[in-house]
Amino acid sequence: MPSRNSLSATSLIASSHRFPTLLTGLLFMSALLCPAQQIKVLYNFGGPDPGGLPIYVTLTQGRDGALYGTSSQDSGNVFRLTTQGQYSQLYAFSSGPFINPEGGVTLGADGNFYGTTQLGGVSYNFGGLFQLTPAGVFTDLYEFNDFFVDSYPAAPPILASDGNFYGTTVGVGTDGEQDGAVVYRYMPSDGSTTILYTSYPATGAFLWGPVQGTDGNLYATAQYGGPKQWGNIFEMSLAGDFIFDHGLTGPPGPAAPFSGLIQGSDGNFYGTSSEGGTSGRQGHGEAGFGTVYKMDTSNTVTALYSFPSEAGGYFPVGALTEGTDGYLYGTTSEGGPDDGGTLFRISTSGSYERLGSFTYETGIQPLGALMQHTNGVFYGTTRSYGANGPGTVYSLDMGLAPFVAFVQPTGEVGATAQILGQGFNHVTAVSFNGVPATTFAATSDTYLIATVPSGATTGPVTVTTSTGTLTSNKSFQVLP
């Protein structure tokens, strides 16, 4: 059974004992890294600007090249932060009706941002789905309304290939007891929200994800439940048809995943589990320190790496991110010299490297995934400490080159592809897997649109500017 000390999204609102109350002092230590790899603070929450305590926040790159995210302090806010560290509040949730956004926002094809709050609502207090324009105009789209399953979303929805948004709820549960959760769909075309799938303990509760695979289906994880009560991984169609599930069996394998999967460029899926692995944890039975795990194309799940000790980092919460160098980047929320977490990268064959440790100066308790900006640099958030107390936004520069990314990495021939990057004011050519696009236009230096040309096939996209050629970090999938 999962440890009774396992975190849940709802327990964080009440300041779980895993994440103690903020202290007043600051401790400092030197990073054991070369200068190009240091964890650097880009912004300290808790100063004169509003906001702080980002929880499961994975930052999002907007059309303007800035970073967008949420924080939960004082009912929460949505913020904009440039890569030079200039901060502005986009929206404050203190005006209601929804409060406590915990997972960041997703950039939509319309240029607006979409996210969820874990609490608040007009008729209930189970959270909501919202839209926010770049100018800060807020629209509530859906109110979650079933305490047992349709409640407490902790992450924003994803934008899928059909133009709709798909997301999950955490549902309700205490100390390993859970009732269920849902997968939902929001359709911008008519404003409707539909519950596609309801998961109960037999298939899992406390859902995380989903992610859309290259096969078009959705993949999600359950932190609890499943046949062995150690969590589950399942696959479903965009229509809500259940296809496959893999119940996690616990140590020495992965157990209790606290985040969703990513699909690597090799076609396999990768994730982190907060427990499991081959090493025990003193005072926590045989739960283990956590793992990085892999699900291959035959749906076989294996632990790629087991975190060995508290000192080396343990209890990974955030999802992984595949960098343009092919490595998987991630964090642990605890461990290291200050017990504030660690930052690592791992190859898809399991070669592990710890890149640094989080200190009271950099901020501690990284709970969201890293994101790689198209400038090549990684950015992330910490939940607490930093110079003022309620967390930071940090950067990690691995010396990787700039690239281009997609708002939506799929489209048919003749469709409009939305591309993020830099230097687009001087774009001279765009190609889809070697086939030139005849129609393209940059609306700003960081955003352009291009029509998928006839004859294009799935593969990388290149954008040529006056200073060189940028290649996409992912393949653009040309749909039939």
Domain final position from 337, 372, 396 = 396
Q: Which residues contact 72 (CB under 8 A, 6 or more apart)?
A: 53, 54, 55, 100, 101, 102
Q: Digits of tens for pLDDT over the chain (480 positions)? A: 343 233 444 444 333 333 333 332 332 333 333 434 689 999 999 999 999 999 999 999 999 999 999 999 999 999 999 999 999 999 999 988 899 999 999 999 999 999 999 999 989 889 999 999 999 999 999 999 887 777 899 999 999 999 999 999 987 644 445 578 899 999 999 999 999 998 887 788 889 989 999 999 999 999 988 888 899 999 999 999 999 999 998 999 999 999 999 999 999 999 999 999 998 764 445 689 999 999 999 999 999 999 998 888 999 999 999 999 999 999 999 999 889 999 999 999 999 999 999 999 999 999 999 999 999 999 999 999 999 999 999 999 999 999 999 999 999 999 999 999 999 999 999 999 999 999 999 999 999 999 999 999 999 999 999 999 999 999 999 999
Q: Give yes or no: residues 215 and 344 share one domain.
A: yes
Q: Which residues contact 178 (CB under 8 A, 6 or more apart)?
A: 171, 172, 201, 205, 206, 224, 225
Q: Give yes or no: residues 121 and 187 share one domain.
A: yes
Q: Give dist(CA 68, CA 134) in Å, integer.
A: 10
Q: Give yes or no: residues 384 and 447 share one domain.
A: no
**What pLDDT is recorded for position 317?**
97
| Phi, psi angle pair for 430, to nearest 5° | -135, 130
Residue 327 lies in a domain: yes
Q: Give dist(CA 426, CA 422) in Å, integer.
A: 10
Q: What is the CATH number of the domain that holds 475?
A: 2.60.40.10
Q: Give dist(CA 196, CA 185) in Å, integer.
A: 7
Neighbours of 366 (CB within 10 A): 30
Shortest CA distance to 356 belongs to which of 376, 382, 375? 382
Residue 3 lies in a domain: no
**What pLDDT is recorded for position 28?**
30
Residue 18 lies in a domain: no
Residue 313 lies in a domain: yes
Does residue 252 have a cis bond before it (omega within 30 degrees)?
yes
Shortest CA distance to 352 belongs to which of 319, 307, 302? 307
**What pLDDT is recorded for position 23?**
30
Q: Give yes or no: residues 56 and 111 share one domain.
A: yes
Estimate to the nearest angstrom the gap between the alpha carbon of 391 and the chain centroid. Answer: 17
CA atoms within 13 A on the CB side of 297: 6
| Dihedral sign (CA 296, 299, 300, 305) | positive
Neighbours of 285 (CB within 10 A): 14
Domain final position from 373, 396, 419 = 396
Q: Give yes or no: residues 187 and 328 share one domain.
A: yes
Residue 23 lies in a domain: no
Q: Give yes or no: residues 391 and 427 share one domain.
A: no
Instruction: Tell me the CA distances in angstroms from 386 to 17, 45, 313, one per residue in order.
Output: 20, 8, 19
Q: Give yes or no: residues 390 and 409 share one domain.
A: no
Q: Give yes or no: residues 49 and 158 share one domain.
A: yes
Q: Give dist(CA 478, CA 334) in Å, integer.
A: 41
Q: Give yes or no: residues 380 and 413 share one domain.
A: no
Q: Give yes or no: residues 337 and 463 share one domain.
A: no
Residue 338 lies in a domain: yes
Q: Give dist(CA 88, CA 292) in Å, integer.
A: 35
Domain final position from 346, 370, 396 = 396
Q: Is 437 left (phi over 0), alpha (psi -120 to 50) or beta?
A: beta
Neighbours of 273 (CB within 10 A): 31
Q: Give dist(CA 65, CA 63) in Å, integer.
A: 6
Q: Give dist(CA 127, CA 22) in Å, integer.
A: 26
Amino acid identity of residue 469, one-letter, is: T
Q: Give yes or no: residues 182 and 109 share one domain.
A: yes
**Domains held by the chain: number:** 2
Estimate to the nearest angstrom the gap between the alpha carbon of 381 and the chain centroid. Answer: 11
Tokens 């064959």, residue located: 349
Residue 26 lies in a domain: no
Q: Give yes or no: residues 381 and 233 share one domain.
A: yes
**What pLDDT is recorded for position 281?**
61
Residue 31 lies in a domain: no
Q: What is the CATH number of the domain that holds 184?
A: 2.130.10.10
Residue 195: give the domain boundaries: 36-396
| Phi, psi angle pair for 42, to nearest 5° | -90, -35
**What pLDDT is recorded for position 37?**
63
Reported for 73-81, long-range contacts at CB under 8 A and 24+ positions apart, including other chains, are 73/45, 73/390, 74/50, 75/99, 75/100, 75/120, 76/100, 76/101, 76/117, 77/50, 77/51, 77/101, 78/105, 78/113, 78/115, 78/132, 78/136, 79/51, 81/42, 81/43, 81/393
Estimate to the nearest angstrom the gap between the alpha carbon of 207 and the chain centroid. Answer: 13
